[in-house]
Structure 1
Amino acid sequence: MLFQAIDRPSVQEKILDGVSRKIAKLHSPPAFGKTAALRAAYEHVTTNPGGMAELFPQGISHCGWLTFSHSYADAAHAVTDLATALGVAPLPGKMTLPELFDEVGCRSGCTLLFLDEVEEPSEPGVASMLSELFLNAPDNLRIASAFRHLPHLPLARLGVRGLVTELTARELAFSRSELRTLFGRLANANEMETFYRASYGWPALAQITRDLLPGISDPSERRSLFDGNHPRLHAYVSEELAALVSPSLHAILRYCAILDDFSPELAEHLSGLKMLPAEIRALDDLYPLIEKSALGPGWYCLHPVLRRCLEAELAVDPNLLPARLHSKAAVWFTERQLIQKAVSHAAQGGNFSLAADAIRQAGGVNLFIRAGHTVLQTLIEDLPASVIHESPGLMLCHTLVLAKSGNVQAARERIEALKMMPGQCELEGFDINSSAFGHIEGMIGIYQDLCSVPAAVRELERMAAELPPQATWDLGWINNHLCIAYTRTGRLDLAHRTALKGLACYREEKAVYAEAFMLMHLGLVNSLAGNFSAALSFCRQAQELARSAEWKDENLDAICSVAAAEIHYQRGDLRQVEESLNEAMKPIVRGEGWVEIFVRLFWNLARSRLRLSGLDLALAAIDKAEEVAVERSLPRLKHASNIMRVELFTRSGLIESAVAIADRLTGMVQEAAALDHWTWRETNDFHLARARLHVAQGNYAEAMENINLVLATSHGNGSGHYLLAAEVLAVRVTWEDGAYGRSLEFLQSAIARARVHEVTQMFVDEGPEFAAILRAIVRRFGLKVFSADGVDFISRVVGQRALLPGERSPKTRNGKAPSAQGLLSAREREALLLLRKGKSNKEIARDLGLSEATIKFHMKNVFLKLGVNRRSMAIAVSDKLKIN
Structure 2
Amino acid sequence: MSQNSVILRAKLLEDALLKSSENTALLVAPVGFGKTTLILQHQDNSSSLSYYINGADEQWQRQVESILEEVTPDTTVYLDDWDLVESAHWQEVFVLLISKSCRLVLAGRGINSFNRLPAHLLQTCTLLGSEKLALSYSDIVSITSSDSLIPPSQIFSMTLGHPFLVNLAISLSPSSCSIAELHQHLVLHPILGQLLLQEILEGLSEQDSSNVRLLCINSQLPKRLFIEPEQLLISELLERSFSGLHVKSETEWTLLPVVREPLQKLCLREDTTASLLAYQALAKRYTSQGDIVNAIGLMMACGEVKLAVSLLRQQGGLLQWIRHGLGNLELILQQFSTQEWFAFDEVAWLACIVSLKRGEVDKARKLINRHYHQDSFDWSVADAFVCLYEGLNLSQNQREFFIRLQGDSPVILKGEHLPNHDGLSAFAGALINNILLLIAIQQGGVEEAEQYLLATRAYYQKELDADYGEAFLDIHQSHISMLKMDAESSSRYLTRVSSRVQRLFSQDKSIRVAMFAVKRELAFYKGLIPSLTVMDKLVREVNHSEAWFDLYAAVYALAAKTALHHNKPESLVQWLRLAGEHSQKHRLAHLDILLNYLARLALVSQSQIEDKFAAYISPLPKQPSSLPWRLQQLHLELEMLLGSLSNKRLEQALLFSESQKHTLLACQCRLMLAINRDDETKLSQEIAIVEDSGFLQLIWQLRSWISKDRVTEILNRHNRTRLILEPKKEEGSRLLSIKESAIMALVSQQRRNKEIAIELDISEQTVKFHLKNVYRKLGVKSRKLAVAVLAENLPEE
Residue 665 of structure 2 corresponds to residue 722 of structure 1 = yes
- For residues 296 and 500 of structure 2, the distance between their equivalents in structure 1, rounded to whole angstroms, comes to 26
| 1:799 partner SS | helix
Residue 595 of structure 2 corresponds to residue 641 of structure 1 = yes
Do 1:562 and 1:584's aligned partners in 2 also have CA atoms closer than 8 Å? Answer: yes
The Cα of 1:750 is off from its aligned counterpart by: 1.2
Do 2:296 and 2:308's aligned partners in 1 also have CA atoms closer than 8 Å? Answer: yes
Out of 350, 367, 385, the residue aligned to residue 320 of structure 2 is 367
Out of 243, 263, 280, the residue aligned to residue 319 of structure 1 is 263
Structure 1 segment 73-92 matched on structure 2, within 5 A? none
The Cα of 1:482 is off from its aligned counterpart by: 1.9
Out of 473, 477, 486, the residue aligned to residue 531 of structure 1 is 486
Match of 1:198 in 2: none
| Greater mean alpha carbon deviation, residues 262-271 or residues 652-661 | 652-661
- For residues 426 and 225 of structure 2, the distance between their equivalents in structure 1, rounded to whole angstroms, comes to 37
Amino acid at match of 2:263: N
| 2:685 partner SS | helix
Do 1:558 and 1:585's aligned partners in 2 also have CA atoms closer than 8 Å? Answer: no
- For residues 544 and 490 of structure 2, the distance between their equivalents in structure 1, rounded to whole angstroms, comes to 26
Out of 531, 539, 550, the residue aligned to residue 596 of structure 1 is 550
Structure 1 segment 658-673 matched on structure 2, within 5 A? 665-666=619-620, 668-670=621-623
Match of 1:565 in 2: 520
Match of 1:263 in 2: 224
Structure 1 segment 808-847 matched on structure 2, within 5 A? none
Do 1:768 and 1:801's aligned partners in 2 also have CA atoms closer than 8 Å? Answer: no
- 1:144-178 deviations in Å (ceiling 9; x for gaps): xxxxxxxxxxxxxxxxxxxxxxxxxxxxxxxxxxx
Match of 1:555 in 2: 510
Do 1:449 and 1:595's aligned partners in 2 also have CA atoms closer than 8 Å? Answer: yes
Residue 394 of structure 2 corresponds to residue 439 of structure 1 = no
- For residues 653 and 389 of structure 1, the distance between their equivalents in structure 2, rounded to whole angstroms, comes to 50
Match of 2:791 in 1: none
The Cα of 1:443 is off from its aligned counterpart by: 1.3
Do 2:671 and 2:683's aligned partners in 1 also have CA atoms closer than 8 Å? Answer: no
The Cα of 1:797 is off from its aligned counterpart by: 2.6
Amino acid at match of 1:689: L
Match of 2:175 in 1: none
Structure 1 segment 169-568 matched on structure 2, within 5 A? 231=154, 258-259=219-220, 263=224, 265=226, 272-274=233-235, 318-319=262-263, 329-347=282-300, 351-419=304-372, 434-466=376-408, 471-509=425-463, 510-539=465-494, 541-542=496-497, 545=500, 548-550=503-505, 553-568=508-523
- For residues 410 and 613 of structure 1, the distance between their equivalents in structure 2, rounded to whole angstroms, comes to 38
> Structure 2 vs 1, CA of residues 234 and 636 (structure 1 numbering), >3 Å: closer, same or farther?
same
- 1:709-748 deviations in Å (ceiling 9; x for gaps): 54444333222222444466678x47xx976544433321
Amino acid at match of 1:624: L
Amino acid at match of 1:800: L
What do you get for the CA RMSD once the two structures are aligned?
A: 5.2
Do 2:557 and 2:598's aligned partners in 1 also have CA atoms closer than 8 Å? Answer: yes
Match of 1:685 in 2: 634
- For residues 496 and 405 of structure 1, the distance between their equivalents in structure 2, rounded to whole angstroms, comes to 28
Do 1:575 and 1:612's aligned partners in 2 also have CA atoms closer than 8 Å? Answer: no
> Structure 2 vs 1, CA of residues 705 and 261 (structure 1 numbering), >3 Å: closer, same or farther?
farther
Do 1:516 and 1:545's aligned partners in 2 also have CA atoms closer than 8 Å? Answer: yes
Match of 2:93 in 1: none
- For residues 453 and 346 of structure 2, the distance between their equivalents in structure 1, rounded to whole angstroms, comes to 28
Amino acid at match of 1:722: L
Residue 710 of structure 2 corresponds to residue 774 of structure 1 = yes
Do 1:503 and 1:519's aligned partners in 2 also have CA atoms closer than 8 Å? Answer: no
Match of 2:691 in 1: 751
Amino acid at match of 1:263: R
The Cα of 1:690 is off from its aligned counterpart by: 1.4
Amino acid at match of 2:453: A
Residue 619 of structure 2 corresponds to residue 619 of structure 1 = no
- For residues 315 and 552 of structure 1, the distance between their equivalents in structure 2, rounded to whole angstroms, comes to 39
The Cα of 1:751 is off from its aligned counterpart by: 0.3
Residue 722 of structure 2 corresponds to residue 799 of structure 1 = yes
Q: Percent identity?
A: 14
> Structure 2 vs 1, CA of residues 728 and 519 (structure 1 numbering), >3 Å: closer, same or farther?
same
> Structure 2 vs 1, CA of residues 439 and 235 (structure 1 numbering), >3 Å: closer, same or farther?
same
Do 1:499 and 1:522's aligned partners in 2 also have CA atoms closer than 8 Å? Answer: yes
- 1:382-406 deviations in Å (ceiling 9; x for gaps): 2234554443222233233233333
| 2:263 partner SS | coil
- For residues 690 and 237 of structure 1, the distance between their equivalents in structure 2, rounded to whole angstroms, comes to 77
> Structure 2 vs 1, CA of residues 331 and 232 (structure 1 numbering), >3 Å: closer, same or farther?
same
> Structure 2 vs 1, CA of residues 769 and 410 (structure 1 numbering), >3 Å: closer, same or farther?
closer
> Structure 2 vs 1, CA of residues 722 and 493 (structure 1 numbering), >3 Å: closer, same or farther?
same
- For residues 317 and 610 of structure 2, the distance between their equivalents in structure 1, rounded to whole angstroms, comes to 58
- For residues 546 and 377 of structure 1, the distance between their equivalents in structure 2, rounded to whole angstroms, comes to 23
The Cα of 1:581 is off from its aligned counterpart by: 4.8
> Structure 2 vs 1, CA of residues 408 and 511 (structure 1 numbering), >3 Å: closer, same or farther?
same
The Cα of 1:445 is off from its aligned counterpart by: 2.3
Do 2:481 and 2:489's aligned partners in 1 also have CA atoms closer than 8 Å? Answer: yes
Structure 1 segment 564-583 matched on structure 2, within 5 A? 564-575=519-530, 578-579=532-533, 581-583=535-537
| Greater mean alpha carbon deviation, residues 489-498 or residues 679-688 | 679-688
> Structure 2 vs 1, CA of residues 234 and 369 (structure 1 numbering), >3 Å: closer, same or farther?
same
- 1:318-358 deviations in Å (ceiling 9; x for gaps): 43679978766423122445434422444456554443333
| 2:543 partner SS | helix
- For residues 820 and 727 of structure 1, the distance between their equivalents in structure 2, rounded to whole angstroms, comes to 33
> Structure 2 vs 1, CA of residues 233 and 750 (structure 1 numbering), >3 Å: closer, same or farther?
farther
> Structure 2 vs 1, CA of residues 770 and 801 (structure 1 numbering), >3 Å: closer, same or farther?
farther
The Cα of 1:478 is off from its aligned counterpart by: 2.3
| 2:590 partner SS | helix
> Structure 2 vs 1, CA of residues 266 and 765 (structure 1 numbering), >3 Å: closer, same or farther?
farther
- For residues 769 and 378 of structure 1, the distance between their equivalents in structure 2, rounded to whole angstroms, comes to 57
Amino acid at match of 1:448: E
> Structure 2 vs 1, CA of residues 355 and 533 (structure 1 numbering), >3 Å: closer, same or farther?
farther
Do 1:460 and 1:478's aligned partners in 2 also have CA atoms closer than 8 Å? Answer: yes
The Cα of 1:752 is off from its aligned counterpart by: 1.2
Give unmatched runs, 5+ long, in structure 1: 1-219, 240-250, 277-288, 291-299, 427-433, 779-790, 804-818, 823-882
- For residues 632 and 501 of structure 1, the distance between their equivalents in structure 2, rounded to whole angstroms, comes to 30
- For residues 388 and 459 of structure 1, the distance between their equivalents in structure 2, rounded to whole angstroms, comes to 27
- For residues 154 and 614 of structure 2, the distance between their equivalents in structure 1, rounded to whole angstroms, comes to 68
Do 1:370 and 1:511's aligned partners in 2 also have CA atoms closer than 8 Å? Answer: no
Give unmatched runs, 5+ long, in structure 2: 1-148, 163-211, 238-247, 269-274, 410-421, 731-795
Do 1:415 and 1:441's aligned partners in 2 also have CA atoms closer than 8 Å? Answer: yes
- For residues 381 and 258 of structure 2, the distance between their equivalents in structure 1, rounded to whole angstroms, comes to 45
Do 1:473 and 1:506's aligned partners in 2 also have CA atoms closer than 8 Å? Answer: yes
Amino acid at match of 1:400: I
- For residues 392 and 636 of structure 1, the distance between their equivalents in structure 2, rounded to whole angstroms, comes to 30
- For residues 430 and 226 of structure 2, the distance between their equivalents in structure 1, rounded to whole angstroms, comes to 37
Structure 1 segment 85-100 matched on structure 2, within 5 A? none
- For residues 570 and 480 of structure 1, the distance between their equivalents in structure 2, rounded to whole angstroms, comes to 26
